[in-house]
Amino acid sequence: MMPKQKELWIPNDEVAEKIILIQIECSLNENYEKLENNTMFIESMKRKDDSPVLEVAPKLKNTNILGLYERMLPLTKVDLMYASVYSRTGGALNLFNEKISENIDIQFKELSSKSKDTNEAIKKWKDEPSELWSGLTPAQIWAGGGKVEKALLMDFLNKLTELMSGKQFTTKGAAFMNCIDVLRTWQLNKNDICEGKTPMEAIMEERNLILKDKIDFIKENNIECDFV
C-alpha cells in the first residue's frame, strides 16, 4: 500500500485556494516534452487558445481546474498590460499577502504623477522592487514562478505543518502572524532544493529566467507588452 500523504496545516480557505493558483501559475512556466520543450504559457500565446494545457493534461477537460488555468493564460491583450500584474498570485513569498490592487500601489501612483508619459512611468515601475510583493519587482510577479518555486512552496508548507500542527492560538490573527514569521524565516535560510541558495534568491533567479524567455518570445513576434 502507498503511504498516506500527510495532511497539510493551512490557516484558512483563502490560503488553500491561493496555493492551488500558485501551483497552476508555476505549471504554466514549466517546459513539457509534449510541447516540444516549450511552456504552456508561450504555446498558448502562439496558438491563442488553451489547447497546450489539454495537450499536457487531457484529464482537465470540462473541469473547474481548467477554468483556473484559462484565467492565467495570455489569451487577450489585457493579459500583457501592466495592470494584469494585480491578478497574479505573487507566488510563494506572498502566500499570506492580501490581494493587491492598483489603488494601493503607491509606487506606481508616485511614478505616474512625476511623469507626463504613462509608458515611461511603467518602464521604471516594472523593474523596481516593491514592498507590496515582498521585494519582488512587478515584472517578476507578472512572469510567475516555475518548477523550483513549486517545489519550494511544498517544502514551506511541510515546514509550516511541522511547526503549527497541534498549536492553539487565541485568535485567527495570531495564527496568521505566526505563519508570516515562519515564511520570513524560511525564505532567508539556505535550502537543499535550490542547491544551497536561499528560497528568496532561487525564486528571484528563476523568475528572472522565465521573464527573459517571455520577453524574448514577445519581441521576436512583435507583440505589444508593457513588461518588455
CA distances from 61 to 31, 48, 70, 130 (A): 20, 17, 12, 37
Cα separation, 182 vs 9, in Å, equals: 13
Cα separation, 147 vs 210, in Å, equals: 11
Q: Which residues contact 50 (CB under 8 A, 6 or more apart)?
A: 44, 66, 69, 70, 73, 75
Residue 201 sits at φ, ψ, to 5 deg, of: -60, -45
Query: What is the pLDDT at residue 172?
Result: 80
Cα separation, 39 vs 25, in Å, equals: 11
Residues in the chain with pLDDT values less than 50? 1-4
Residue pLDDT, tens place only, 54-77: 999 999 999 999 999 999 999 999
Residue 10 sits at φ, ψ, to 5 deg, of: -130, 130
Task: Give the predicted TM-score (pTM) of the model.
Answer: 0.94
